[in-house]
Structure 1
Amino acid sequence: MPEISVRGLEMPESPIRKLAPLAADAKKRGIKVYHLNIGQPDLPTPQCGLDALKKIDRKLLEYSPSQGYLSYREKLCDFYKKFNINVAPDDIIITAGGSEAVLYSFMACLNPGDEIIVPEPAYANYMAFAISAGAKIKTIATSIEEGFALPKVEKFEELINEKTRAIMICNPNNPTGYLYTRREMNQIRDLVKKYDLYLFSDEVYREYIYTGSPYISSMHLQGIENNTVLIDSVSKRYSECGIRIGALITKNEEIRKAVMKFCQARLSPPLIGQIVAEASLDAPESYYRDVYDEYVDRRKCLIDGLNRIPGVYSPIPMGAFYTVAKLPVDDSEKFCRWCLEEFSYEGETIMMAPASGFYTTPGAGYNQVRIAYVLKREDLQRALTVLQKALESYPGRVEED
């Protein structure tokens, strides 16, 4: 039999999804599983988006333009103005989810062997997209003790060499919920400008910021407009993960020309998804406010609850709907597997994402998990009870000195 490609062998498993078969088996045994592992919101999609889906009356489901429908891109420009992000329709390319936007950014801007600096822990699929493009992720460590704040400039410069081509950030961050400050964003801008790097900025969680501070987008950073690629998606904003609609946004015409070649090769972004996403832009302000308030309440419920469990620590996330928590366990992946395979409390268990999968540094995150607060408050409270009972029973529990 022919051998699998090196790329195929190097492609990492998703820390978010790889335990899914164990969860399915637990459910077959009659155990209720609280899914804290994946950023799949349970809040409703805007009614205007659902209505558009129901009212589709076409005799033909045709290809859309490779860059996405102009009407949708025009409406997106008005939406971004609310965040002081000023772009033209031609600056926007519609993609099959934010994932395709990241992949095409890498493919268009990086050569095989080029390096991307990414603060870790980081969204695990960045590594997969880099492998697909033949590029390499070089991580710069952040720590849970410091709330995952960005390291000093010197730490970045220690990694920069002739192969360094880009910096990638997620702001607000997945998996930590960290929000970069104005000072940190200016620090990144200065590095990008000094070394003439690309800045790939994943901003799909911008609607969920809990500090009251003004949001600092990569598009606000002056002097690096042609270096910046913004990644966006409707998945989290409108609870529309399944329609697979994202966007790649850049002022750099050469990047857009290169990206369009990949877009033309895959023909077009999803037709039905664009119809729903465009209609969802008409969601009333009350929709955004209600969703935001719900996440604020869930965040308080989860973080307060986690930090009341003996041996558990979570910093307070300032954005998105995730946190990385430290547990008193010998190995978080073993613990997560054990919860699904061997443990239940009153017929219930929990599923979390081992945080080691969000690091590339060997041994990092071994006792951490990423938790998504995408369940209603009552379910979060119950999941916290189940987690505490699991930690009390786990044979690999580790007590700190």
Structure 2
Amino acid sequence: MPKISAKGLNMPESPIRKLVPFAEEAHKQGKTVYYLNIGQPDIKTPEVALDAVKFHMLDILAYTRSEGSENYRIKIAEYYKRNDIEVTHNDIIVTTGGSEALLFAFGSIMDEDDEIIIPEPFYANYNGFSTASGVNVVPVISKIENNFALPPIEEFEKLITPKTKAILICNPGNPTGYLYSKEEIRQLAAVVKKHDLFLIADEVYREFVYDGISHFSILQEAGLEDHAIVIDSVSKRYSMCGARIGYLVSKNPEVIKTALKFAQARLSPPTLAQIASEAALQTPQSYFDDVKEEYVKRRNILIEGLEKIEGVKVAKPNGAFYCIAELPVKNSDDFARWLLESFHYNNNTVMVAPAAGFYSTPGVGLNQIRIAYVLNEESLKLCIKILEEALKVYRD
């Protein structure tokens, strides 16, 4: 039999999706499964975006430019300007989701066996993108005890080698919900300038920051123009995960020129999805105000509920819609599977994401889970009760 590639064999499973077969089997058994494992908001997509596709006037569904339609990129630049980020449409490449933007960034700035430093826990697919690109992740661990704040900057400097090409952060963070402060961004900026590295920021949750705190983009930091690469997406901002539209943004013309070659190789981003995403830019601020208010309510219900469960430790997020909870279990993979296979509370159970998959350091995060608070308030309250009752009877 022909052999599978080493790269394919090393490709990690998604901790978010790998338990789906067990959830499907739980459904067949008649259980109601509440999905806390995936960041699929139940917030409605703006009507203006859906209407743009519904009532489009196209006769031919043709390719667009490889970097995305010029009109859409101009409007994206205007969106950034409203958020005090000065870029032009020539600094933007539209991609098939933020995932492709990350792959383009990795391909543009790193070669095989180069290294990228990432504070962990981090979005699990960073491991997958690194494996696909032949790049080595060098983790620096952030801790639940201080809410997953940026590790001391000295810890980053200790890890820098001749193979180090970039530092990658998610701000606000998936899976932690941590929002980096302006001071933390400036510490990172100083390090990448000192060592001539790139700083990549995944800012797809920019709109979702709470408690009166403001988001500070790496594109707002003066003197970082040659170093900064932003990854962005419409998926969570407008609850348009299925559109698969993202973008890579950089003021470094060589980065854009190089990334464009990768964009040309895959021809163009999807046309109808660009139409929807361009229309979504008309979404009024009131939409985001309402969504943020809803997420704050959900966050508070979740965090307060989890804190009342004996043996559970949880970090309070200031952004996005995720949190990491530490459970009184030895292995959250086993616990998550057991919840689906063997447990129910009044015929209800939950699906969570084991957090070890959000680390690249072996053996770390084994007793942690990521929870996405994307369900309504009553569902979240029930989920907390399910977890509480499950932990009373679960045995490692």
TM-score where L is the length of structure 2: 0.99
Segment drifting more, 50-59 vs 40-49? 50-59
Are residues 1:376 and 2:376 paired?
Answer: yes
* CA-CA distance at 1:146 after TM superposition: 1.2
Aligned to 2:7: 7
Aligned to 2:363: 363
Aligned to 1:154: 154
Distance in 1 separating the partners of 2:58 and 2:30: 43
> Secondary structure at 1:226's aligned position in 2?
coil
Distance in 2 separating the partners of 1:307 and 1:318: 16
> Secondary structure at 2:154's aligned position in 1?
helix
Are residues 1:342 and 2:342 paired?
Answer: yes
* CA-CA distance at 1:213 after TM superposition: 2.5
Are residues 1:194 and 2:230 paired?
Answer: no
Summarize the alignment of residues 1-400 of structure 1 with structure 2, pairs less than 5 Å apart.
1-396=1-396
* CA-CA distance at 1:393 after TM superposition: 1.4
Contact 1:227/1:252 (<8 A) preserved: yes
Distance in 2 separating the partners of 1:208 and 1:236: 9
> Secondary structure at 2:247's aligned position in 1?
strand
Residue ranges of structure 2 left out of the alignment (5+ in a row) = none
- The C-alpha deviation readout for 1:348-373, integer Å capped at 9, x for no partner, is 10000000000111110011000000
Distance in 1 separating the partners of 2:284 and 2:23: 37
User: Amino acid of the residue matched to residue 103 of structure 1?
Assistant: L
Distance in 2 separating the partners of 1:387 and 1:39: 19
User: Amino acid of the residue matched to residue 2 of structure 2?
Assistant: P
Contact 1:77/1:86 (<8 A) preserved: yes
- The C-alpha deviation readout for 1:203-256, integer Å capped at 9, x for no partner, is 000101113123211101121211111000000000000010000000111111
Distance in 1 separating the partners of 2:125 and 2:9: 15
Residue ranges of structure 1 left out of the alignment (5+ in a row) = 397-401
> Secondary structure at 1:225's aligned position in 2?
coil
> Secondary structure at 1:102's aligned position in 2?
helix
Distance in 2 separating the partners of 1:307 and 1:22: 28
User: Amino acid of the residue matched to residue 320 of structure 1?
Assistant: A
Distance in 1 separating the partners of 2:141 and 2:82: 33
* CA-CA distance at 1:130 after TM superposition: 1.1
Distance in 2 separating the partners of 1:278 and 1:154: 42
Contact 1:83/1:215 (<8 A) preserved: no
- The C-alpha deviation readout for 1:264-287, integer Å capped at 9, x for no partner, is 110000111101000011112221
Distance in 2 separating the partners of 1:301 and 1:341: 27
* CA-CA distance at 1:196 after TM superposition: 0.3
User: Amino acid of the residue matched to residue 10 of structure 2?
Assistant: E
- The C-alpha deviation readout for 1:167-219, integer Å capped at 9, x for no partner, is 00000000000011122111100100000001111000010111312321110
User: Amino acid of the residue matched to residue 181 of structure 1?
Assistant: S
Distance in 1 separating the partners of 2:296 and 2:319: 10
Contact 1:66/1:268 (<8 A) preserved: yes
> Secondary structure at 1:119's aligned position in 2?
strand
- The C-alpha deviation readout for 1:308-334, integer Å capped at 9, x for no partner, is 111111121011000000011121010
Contact 1:232/1:248 (<8 A) preserved: yes
- The C-alpha deviation readout for 1:117-163, integer Å capped at 9, x for no partner, is 00000001111111111111000001101111111121111101111
Distance in 2 separating the partners of 1:114 and 1:97: 24
Distance in 2 separating the partners of 1:5 and 1:154: 37
> Secondary structure at 2:156's aligned position in 1?
helix
Contact 1:116/1:135 (<8 A) preserved: yes
- The C-alpha deviation readout for 1:61-110, integer Å capped at 9, x for no partner, is 00111000111111111111222111101101000000000010000110
Distance in 1 separating the partners of 2:82 and 2:256: 24
> Secondary structure at 2:137's aligned position in 1?
strand
- The C-alpha deviation readout for 1:2-22, integer Å capped at 9, x for no partner, is 111011011100000001111
Distance in 1 separating the partners of 2:109 and 2:193: 16
Segment drifting more, 220-229 vs 324-333? 220-229
Structure 1 runs, 4 residues or longer, greater than 4 Å off: none
* CA-CA distance at 1:57 after TM superposition: 2.7
User: Amino acid of the residue matched to residue 374 of structure 1?
Assistant: V
The root-mean-square deviation of aligned C-alpha atoms, in Å, is 0.8
Distance in 2 separating the partners of 1:84 and 1:284: 17
